[in-house]
Amino acid sequence: MTNVIMIIQILSFFFIFQSISRYPFTVKESSAWLAVFVIIGFVSTQFIGVWGAITLFFCFVVISYFKNQRTFTALGVFYGAYALVVNSFIGYLAADPITGLVGFIFKQSSANIEYLPYLFTAMAPPIINEIALRLVRHYVPQLNKEILQASSTIILLPVILLLVIILLSVYPILTIGNETGAFSSFHRTLLIGMWLLFVVALLYMQFQYNHIQKREVEKSRNERLVQLKDYADQLEKIYDEFRGFRHDYANILLTLEEGIYLEDWEQVKQVYDQTVKPTGLLMRKNEYSLLKLRNMHVSEVKSILAAKMIMAQQMKIDVALEMEEPIHLIQMELISFTRILSILLDNAIEAAAQTDEAKMWIVLLEDTAVQRIKIMNNSAEKVNIRHLGERGYSTKGKGRGLGLYNVQQMIKEMKFASLETEAQPRMFSQTLILRKAGEQNEHLHTRG
Amino acid sequence: MNIYILEDNLIQQQRLERIIKTLALKHRITYRSLFSTAKPDHLLEKIADAADHQLYFLDLEIKHEEQKGLAIAKEIRSRDAYGTIVFVTTHSELAPVTFEYRVAALDFIEKELQEADFVRKVEECLLIANSRRTIPVSSDTFSFENKYTSFQIPFSDILFFETMEIAHKIRLVTKTKVLDFYAELNEIADQDKRLFRCHRAFVVNLANIRSVDKKNKWIWFDHNESCLVSRRLLKETLEKMEAIRQS
């Protein structure tokens, strides 16, 4: 019987780990890992008793390592520690009520029910954890995976440290408890203290997260302000140019008129060549594509587009913007969208800057079913698009491919976003296709 | 071939007509009619009864009505799916990618160009339109639409579709592009009989297979791309491929 309970406990660890980390597991993967767990669990318990659970912790860290594209992250360690602590925490809390309940229900039964409390206690943690997590995710949606992903190592490290301390102090007590069959009141106090510490750790994380987020919002607001100011400056510059032109225009007309009445064709020709003709060139400058930003009515996106376009122009890149229809809404959560847009624009600017005739295009298209954002640049070499987006792959050299990797990581979770990447011999483009949600989707869905 | 010019500036209109006539003579391009107008409605009336390949030179800015050009181009496109549309316009109106998407416009010719460059651009367009007269433009596009995405791609560009590490995320690999989107592989295989699910993780375009490595169970395409074929479906893949080739 103890074996069955132990297997259930090992399964509990795994399920808790899975529900907190939300790593996707195929059936095959799950069964393979479970088999590994059970074996490791049994073998280690044989030698080190309750401490066997600690070996599972390392297993979780290893899983996280693989699930995170072979990198160790603080988050991975946190998931492992969380699974272990929560399992014993809930198990500890649930043990007494369950024992009482079982005793009460089976009061009349004469069957051997001694193992039942253990069985239920072993099964309780994953179930309670799942329910609690679901409730939290449902009622506090901002406490989603993003909270953990966004929390930097700085927040996670103290939490992990705390969890490890809890683990290290709880397991010896449990071991003693198991051996003697009873906990002394001192140990009980210590255990409760540890669990309180655990709750404090989670609260601390939440607090830190809020703090960091507030700071981020503040920072991006300031950034946007600066960007919009640059944009306004640039518009003023363009306006000045036009004003100058308007001023000249009157003079040009006067001189031409004079030449025409005097039939001095030499003068007319000279004025035309020297003053009228160059204005055509003025009109051809793509600097004015900045004016097309008036069609963008989402100020966050407008400020980023303006900032990046100005930056590109300062780097002597010819930037063309196509936005023929007004855009009032972006079909994606704005924070993610602006991050993705910035990365795509930065990549395009960097790649274009390395070419002789640096040029880039930014195109926003509003269709009935989709919104298309295309960033195109000329590139010095043909990019291998099949490897693009892999962690660390970059045409810019080793260890610099994180931008596109991040884009793909973000898009991964978004069902309504598709990413198209195109490479021609001297041209590279990325198109974000955002499906519009709404009634027409329902209609189309019945078709598909 | 019929050639249409929509331009409200008479001087520009005559200039373009003159250039086209000279170039047609030079390249021995015969056209049935060369029709110039300043009125969009006249142009739209004309194309209603046309069966030939048509070449349109459109000014985007008609009587200072912004966006009018795009509306006219869309109207033309709805009546004539295969005609060649070229915009002759000022630089500030330029939006090549947008117009390519919207009406499959062939090119933009800037009015401000130097005479020699201007003539060269018109010449290019004329030659392309003339070649399209004999070879019909392929309308064989793969249009995919589900709840999560919507896109079109020339069928002949498609190599294969593959599953990605994320559930339900599919990657389409074409000759020059990759496109990641949300869908089911079966959903895709059902779209066209040339698409076949030859492996748990792959749907291939049978029409674009270059060779099949039967021993190692690999399917090879041009551009050095390859995917797997399952042992169980190898025979069926080869049969279907053969059937597609013969049809």
Here the tokens at position B242 are 């053969």
Q: Are residues A310 and A213 in the same domain?
A: no
Q: Are residues A67 and A181 in the same domain?
A: yes
Q: Are residues B190 and B154 in the same domain?
A: yes
Residue of B nearest to A280 (CA): B112
- Residues in chain A with CB shorter than 8 Å from the CB of B179 are 418-421
pLDDT of residue A441: 42
- Residues in chain A with CB shorter than 8 Å from the CB of B100 are none
pLDDT of residue A211: 78
In-domain check, residue A204: yes
pLDDT of residue A154: 66
CATH code for the domain of B219: 2.40.50.1020
Cross-chain CB nearest to A283 (options B95, B112, B145): B112
Q: Are residues B146 and B201 in the same domain?
A: yes
Please give the ipTM for the structure prediction.
0.81
Q: Are residues B170 and B191 in the same domain?
A: yes
Cross-chain CB nearest to B148 (options A365, A374, A416): A416
Cross-chain CB nearest to A374 (options B97, B145, B180): B97
Residue of B nearest to A281 (CA): B112
CATH code for the domain of A440: 3.30.565.10
In-domain check, residue A45: yes
Instruction: Please say which residue of B116, B134, B152 terminates a domain.
Output: B134
Q: Are residues A90 and A188 in the same domain?
A: yes
Q: Are residues B98 and B163 in the same domain?
A: no
In-domain check, residue A235: no
pLDDT of residue A123: 81
In-domain check, residue A279: no
- Residues in chain A with CB shorter than 8 Å from the CB of B187 are 448
Checking if the pLDDT of B49 tops 70, the result is no
Q: Would you call A435 and B149 a contact, using CB atoms and an 8 Å cutoff?
A: yes
pLDDT tens, B194-226?
A: 999 999 999 999 999 999 999 999 999 988 889
Cross-chain CB nearest to B112 (options A284, A324, A370): A284
Q: Which amino acid is at B245?
A: R
> Between residues 13 and 52 of chain B, which touch chain A (CB distance below 8 Å)?
none
Separation in Å, CA of B246 to nearest CA in chain A: 30
Cross-chain CB nearest to B145 (options A385, A422, A444): A444
Can you tell me the mean pLDDT for B164-177? 88
Q: Would you call A322 and B151 a contact, using CB atoms and an 8 Å cutoff?
A: no
Handedness of CA B213, B218, B222, B223 (dihedral sign): negative
Q: Would you call B146 and A423 a contact, using CB atoms and an 8 Å cutoff?
A: no
- Residues in chain A with CB shorter than 8 Å from the CB of B97 are 322, 361, 363, 365, 374, 376
- Residues in chain A with CB shorter than 8 Å from the CB of B103 are none
Q: How far is CA A250 from CA A247, A253, A395, in A?
A: 6, 5, 52
Distance of CA B93 to the CA centre of its chain: 22
CATH code for the domain of B67: 3.40.50.2300
* Residue B23, C-beta contacts closer than 8 angstroms, at least 6 positions apart: B29, B119, B122, B123, B126
Q: Would you call B180 and A433 a contact, using CB atoms and an 8 Å cutoff?
A: no
Q: Would you call A280 and B150 a contact, using CB atoms and an 8 Å cutoff?
A: no
Domain count, chain A: 2
Q: Are residues A39 and A175 in the same domain?
A: yes
Q: Are residues B20 and B129 in the same domain?
A: yes
Q: Would you call B98 and A447 a contact, using CB atoms and an 8 Å cutoff?
A: no
Judge whether B90 is closer than 8 Å to chain A, CB to CB: yes
Q: Would you call A284 and B110 a contact, using CB atoms and an 8 Å cutoff?
A: yes
Longest dimension (CA), chain A: 126
Name the strand (E) or helix (H) holding B117: helix B115-134
Instruction: Please say which residue of B134, B152, B182 terminates a domain.
Output: B134
Name the strand (E) or helix (H) holding A410: helix A402-412
pLDDT of residue B135: 56
Separation in Å, CA of B16 to nearest CA in chain A: 19
Separation in Å, CA of B169 to nearest CA in chain A: 8
Here the tokens at position A236 are 């003023």
pLDDT of residue A341: 94
Q: Are residues B12 and B123 in the same domain?
A: yes
Q: Are residues B93 and B162 in the same domain?
A: no
Q: Beta strand B2-6 with B33-37: parallel, antiparallel or unpaired? A: parallel
Q: Are residues B6 and B126 in the same domain?
A: yes
Q: Are residues B200 and B130 in the same domain?
A: no
Percent of residues, chain B, with pLDDT higher than 70? 92
Judge whether B82 is closer than 8 Å to chain A, CB to CB: no
How far apart are the C-alpha atoms of A191 and A201, rounded to whole Å?
15
How far apart are the C-alpha atoms of B239 and B247, rounded to whole Å?
12
Lateral strand order in the sheet of B2-6:
B33-37, B2-6, B54-58, B84-89, B107-110
Domain count, chain B: 2
Here the tokens at position B107 are 């090119």
Name the strand (E) or helix (H) holding B174: strand B169-174
Q: Are residues B50 and B124 in the same domain?
A: yes
Q: Are residues A212 and A338 in the same domain?
A: no
Q: Are residues B168 and B229 in the same domain?
A: yes
Strand, helix or coil for residue B107? strand
Provide DSSP, A274-326: IIIHHHHHHHH-GGGGGGGGGGB--HHHHHHHHHHHHHHHHTT-EEEEE--S-
Q: How far is CA A296 from CA A115, A284, A306, A323, in A?
A: 67, 22, 10, 8
Residue of A nearest to B169 (CA): A412
In-domain check, residue A317: yes
Q: Vertex B174, ends B169 and B177: CA angle to 5°?
A: 80
Q: Determine how many CB atoms are found less than 10 A away from the CB of residue A7.
A: 16
- Residues in chain A with CB shorter than 8 Å from the CB of B91 are 283-284
How far apart are the C-alpha atoms of B133 and B32, rounded to whole Å?
12
Domain that holds residue A205: 2-219
Residue of B nearest to A26 (CA): B167
- Residues in chain B with CB shorter than 8 Å from the CB of A322 are 95-98
In-domain check, residue A256: no
Q: Are B220 and B211 contacting, i.e. CB atoms less than 8 angstroms apart?
A: yes
Q: Would you call B182 and A415 a contact, using CB atoms and an 8 Å cutoff?
A: yes
If chain A, 448 residues long, is cut into consecutive pieces of 10 residues, what is the mean pLDDT of each piece?
Answer: 77 83 79 84 73 77 79 76 79 78 74 73 83 76 55 68 76 64 68 76 75 82 85 83 77 84 86 77 68 89 91 90 90 87 92 91 90 92 69 50 72 86 89 76 39
pLDDT of residue B159: 94
- Residues in chain A with CB shorter than 8 Å from the CB of B150 are 367, 369-370, 433, 435, 444
How far apart are the C-alpha atoms of A356 and A359, rounded to whole Å?
9
Q: Are residues A79 and A181 in the same domain?
A: yes
Here the tokens at position A68 are 């995170």
In-domain check, residue A337: yes
Residue of B nearest to A386 (CA): B178
Q: Are A98 and A121 contacting, i.e. CB atoms less than 8 angstroms apart?
A: yes
Q: Beta strand B195-199 with B150-154: parallel, antiparallel or unpaired? A: unpaired
Instruction: Please say which residue of A219, A234, A255 terminates a domain.
Output: A219
Residue of A nearest to B168 (CA): A415
Q: Are residues B198 and B123 in the same domain?
A: no
How far is the first Cα of chain B from the last one, in angstroms, to the nearest whole number?
31
- Residues in chain B with CB shorter than 8 Å from the CB of A427 are none
Q: Which long-range contacts (CB under 8 A, 24 or more apart) does A91-94 make?
A: A91/A12, A91/A121, A91/A122, A91/A124, A91/A125, A92/A191, A92/A195, A93/A195, A94/A120, A94/A121, A94/A124, A94/A125, A94/A128
Instruction: Please say which residue of A167, A192, A219 terminates a domain.
Output: A219
Domain that holds residue B36: 2-134
In-domain check, residue A61: yes
Q: Are residues A200 and A300 in the same domain?
A: no
- For the ranges A20-29, B107-116, B133-142, B199-208, the lowest mean pLDDT is seen at B133-142
- Residues in chain B with CB shorter than 8 Å from the CB of A447 are 145
Closest CA to A362 of A399, A326, A309, A423: A309
How far is the first Cα of chain A from the last one, in angstroms, to the nearest whole number?
52
Instruction: Please say which residue of B134, B159, B178 terminates a domain.
Output: B134
Residues of A near B (Cβ–Cβ under 8 Å) read 24, 280-281, 283-284, 288, 320, 322, 324, 361, 363, 365, 367, 369-370, 372, 374, 376, 385-386, 408, 411-412, 415-416, 418-424, 433, 435, 441, 444-445, 447-448
Q: Would you call B98 and A411 a contact, using CB atoms and an 8 Å cutoff?
A: no
